[in-house]
Structure 1
Amino acid sequence: MRILLGITGGIAAYKAANLVRLLKEAGHDITVLPTQNALKFIGETTLEALSGKNIDLDMYHDVADVRHVELGQQSDLIIVAPATASFLARLASGIADDLLLNAILASTAPVVVAPAMHTEMWQNPATQANIATLQERGIRVLEPAVGRLTGKDSGPGRMPEPEEIATFALSGLPLQGKHVLVTAGGTREPIDSVRFIGNSSTGRMGIELAKAARDLGAQVTLVAANIETATPAGVSVIKVGNVDELELAMDRNCDLIIMAAAVSDFRVKNPSNEKLKRGESLTLELTPTKDLIASYVANHKVISVAFALSDSDGDRLVEVATAKLWDKGVDFIVGNSVSALGSDTNQIEFISRNSHESASGSKSELSRWILERVIPSLS
């Protein structure tokens, strides 16, 4: 996993050296990004030696590479330890006045902060309000330990030990070490050199599922069929056009496959290599395409989730989706209505071989909800 470790300017910064070592020894790729104030408490040479990478805090060095965006987009997880009261306030306010804050704002990776400060600073209503704001935005906060602080004082505010920070940051990633394959978008089968038949799909649900799996620690491969929107950072993307290309891209091992792509049910038997002229009478002979998910699960030992789109809802949708669950041989199926096409929200029927649940919400919320129900099967 690619981890960006931010270090801010508090006395507890010295503990970050052991945190770098722990994460590095666990096999993670660590990029250390201290603030200028952090370097008053811990040496740049130490951090470079432990991480194996040069430290460069200059926002205006290699400007053409847009470093703050690159650092944010290339990170699978961001940890800030210690996180000072000043840093928390600026992050909560969206102030990006150094490279670390710029990288965080430019990233969609999960963020973990480990605050460390004097007791009165931690308990101050302003700090507590900032913590609440960050948590509402999905940032995970490891509360300070109670113990000896700078000088003779003791109390809450002490930075937890590196082992506890590493455990906390990684324990919220139940898909760590798992490979998740997600298909998204709609395939297109050619009629001639410019026309095609296919299924309507923006790929939004598949993209949200890929993002949710990434945020839960998975290595994610997104097979994107004719998706025009931006694909998420921290995810391997394979772009495909038709059913054959999709099948080829799917031919890889994984721990979990989520078939969210809208696969064309038919292809033209004899597509033209040239653009057909308007006004000519045209009869298309269609042949059915392969059931890709059924074929995949028949040949791979993998947990599988498929989608069933229907113009029905309620009990009829459950009936249609359940039938497809057994026909395709998948572990789970998500039934949804055509009304969800192009929408930011969805209402789904989540069906396994022995249970059924209904849910509604944004596609982002439902993606996390679906994965939470699939994860126990992966253990």
Structure 2
Amino acid sequence: MDAIKMLQGKKILLGVSGSIAAYKAATLIRLLVKEGAEVKVIMTPAAADFITPLTLATLSRNEVPMNISDHSSWNNHVVLGRWADVMVIAPASANTIAKMAQGLCDNLLLAVYLSATCPVIFAPAMDEDMWHHPATRGNVDKLISYGHQQIPIASGELASGLFGEGRMAEPEQIVAWLQQHLPKASNNNKPLRGKTVIVTAGPTIEHIDPVRYISNHSSGKMGIAIAEALADAGANVQLVLGPTSQQTTHNGVTTIRVQTAQEMFDQVTARYPNAAIVVAAAAVADYRPANVADKKIKKGEAQLHIDLEKTPDILRSLGDQKGPQQLLIGFSLETNNEKEYALKKLREKHLDMIVMNSLADAGAGFNYDTNKVTLFDKNGKETSFPLKSKQAVAQDIVSAIIELQHA
């Protein structure tokens, strides 16, 4: 797919903060519009010290707001945050990065940022010492932990007269980065539009008594990222989510909260007849206590024996019921013999694809913001990916699902 088609029809919300690099926003807007993107711009009041709203409004062909209210009307930051396919903050000053990291909201750009349901990408711009300060490094790391992506910073002559890291990437570099990293499906060409998709995510808990339970370390981050990527591709996503502090605000995802494996089984099987695709990313407990005490078990004997019984096998049940037009995707998290176990699960549970990852890989598995996966499909295709953010991994998985649909 050529570069123009990759940005054609994309809705790009450009946030311009107070940095000398703000003058580059004019060129960036011109290039994005030339590539077929629809661009709307938000400025901080400090950015207007470096470039005028009129210049950016003329180039983007859209009004450029700076304030939440002009005392007679207000700019709806929620609508702006949900309008975009992607929000790009360029330049992102040290001050704006710090406010984003802390969730502060004292201008329109930050209000829109906190309301955005789309991917957020930022291009830092500041002096070298500011860029290398531990506070800035910590703020950038925090933004990346939120799932945001940073466009690499450049080296060169700085406004201070020094030479070093801190320059914002050139507009041509930013456009090239967007062409490479943005999902290829445009807002007007959603390949999963109209499809109902079920995603399971997070752990389950299996009660021992009213106080204690059996569970695992799953955070739900991977499953939530997949749910959001599927919604971005147009699907109507039903996210069956186990007990976790993670959540999604994506307006294309409906969340159904559960706790136990039995509750997850019941919710998924009830919805399964109407689903075109199921992605089972949850870390479901394989066993549960056979008997749950109705009162807290008191410390007594030196040993406590708990009889365990199997929980419902959600994947096997779905695989046995799967219709010819349904796709069933499973996950395999292993510590040894990874490929052998993943292929066995793919075969025995009648899956169309399985996503394998290993706790032996640094940065992969529970609680990380990154993952490293290999995909195996029912046709014998094997695709391995390097370590990536879970949002990027989700895009890879969704692309493979779309490919399977058309196979």
Q: TM-score range with shorter-chain normalisation?
A: 0.5 to 0.7
Residue 81 of structure 2 contacts residue 113 of structure 2 at CA under 8 Å; is this kept in 1? no
Answering whether residue 400 of structure 2 is matched by residue 376 of structure 1, we say: no
Residue 159 (structure 1) aligns with: none
Paired positions, count = 295
Residue 132 (structure 1) aligns with: 173
Q: CA deviation at 1:364?
A: 2.3
Change (3 A) 1:264 1:226: same
Change (3 A) 1:331 1:37: same
Residue 360 (structure 1) aligns with: 386
Residue 265 of structure 2 contacts residue 312 of structure 2 at CA under 8 Å; is this kept in 1? no
Q: Which amino acid aligns with 1:272?
A: A
Residue 197 of structure 2 contacts residue 276 of structure 2 at CA under 8 Å; is this kept in 1? yes
Q: CA deviation at 1:99?
A: 4.9
Per-residue deviation, residues 102-159 of structure 1 (Å, max 9, x unmatched)? 5367414269xxxxxxxxxxxxxxx993353255357999xxxxxxxxxxxxxxxxxx
Q: Distance in 2 between matches of 1:178 and 1:256?
A: 8
Residue 336 of structure 1 contacts residue 347 of structure 1 at CA under 8 Å; is this kept in 2? yes
Partner secondary structure for residue 174 of structure 1: coil
Q: Distance in 1 between matches of 2:179 and 2:213?
A: 42
Change (3 A) 1:344 1:198: same
Q: Distance in 1 between matches of 2:396 and 2:113?
A: 25
Change (3 A) 1:259 1:72: farther
Residue 192 (structure 1) aligns with: 209
Partner secondary structure for residue 306 of structure 1: strand
Residue 237 (structure 1) aligns with: 255
Change (3 A) 1:369 1:241: same
Residue 221 of structure 1 contacts residue 238 of structure 1 at CA under 8 Å; is this kept in 2? yes
* Superposition pairs of residues 42-81 of structure 1, within 5 angstroms: 59-60=68-69, 67-68=76-77, 70-71=78-79, 74-75=82-83, 77=85
Residue 280 (structure 2) aligns with: 259
Q: CA deviation at 1:352?
A: 1.3
Q: Which amino acid aligns with 1:282?
A: L
Q: Distance in 2 between matches of 1:194 and 1:331?
A: 39
Partner secondary structure for residue 71 of structure 1: helix
Q: Distance in 2 between matches of 1:169 and 1:270?
A: 51
Residue 103 (structure 1) aligns with: 112
Q: Which amino acid aligns with 2:68?
A: M
Q: CA deviation at 1:344?
A: 2.9
Q: Distance in 1 between matches of 2:367 and 2:113?
A: 30
Change (3 A) 1:58 1:92: closer
* Superposition pairs of residues 177-216 of structure 1, within 5 angstroms: 177-216=194-233
- Which sits farther off after the overlay, 244-253 or 227-236? 227-236
Q: Distance in 1 between matches of 2:213 and 2:169?
A: 56
Q: CA deviation at 1:217?
A: 2.7
* Superposition pairs of residues 131-170 of structure 1, within 5 angstroms: 132-133=173-174, 136=177, 169-170=187-188
Q: Which of 92, 99, 108 is equivalent to 2:90? A: 92
Q: CA deviation at 1:61?
A: 8.8
Q: Which amino acid aligns with 2:377?
A: S
Stretches of structure 2 that go unaligned for 5 or more consecutive residues are 1-9, 15-39, 44-52, 59-64, 97-105, 121-167
Residue 294 (structure 1) aligns with: 316
Q: Which of 344, 352, 367 is equivalent to 1:323? A: 344
Residue 327 (structure 2) aligns with: 303
Q: CA deviation at 1:287?
A: 0.7
TM-score normalised to structure 1 length: 0.63
Residue 189 of structure 1 contacts residue 264 of structure 1 at CA under 8 Å; is this kept in 2? yes
Partner secondary structure for residue 305 of structure 1: strand
Per-residue deviation, residues 8-40 of structure 1 (Å, max 9, x unmatched)? xxxxxxxxxxxxxxxxxxxxxxxx9999979x9
Q: Distance in 2 between matches of 1:248 and 1:140?
A: 38
Q: Give me the CA root mean square deviation.
A: 4.5
Change (3 A) 1:4 1:368: closer
Q: Which amino acid aligns with 2:403?
A: P
Q: Distance in 2 between matches of 1:368 and 1:137?
A: 14
**What is the aligned-residue identity percentage?**
30
Q: CA deviation at 1:67?
A: 4.8
Change (3 A) 1:34 1:240: same
Q: Which amino acid aligns with 1:326?
A: R
Q: CA deviation at 1:66?
A: 10
Residue 350 of structure 1 contacts residue 357 of structure 1 at CA under 8 Å; is this kept in 2? yes
Q: Which of 353, 356, 364 is equivalent to 1:332? A: 353
Stretches of structure 1 that go unaligned for 5 or more consecutive residues are 8-31, 42-55, 80-87, 112-126, 142-166
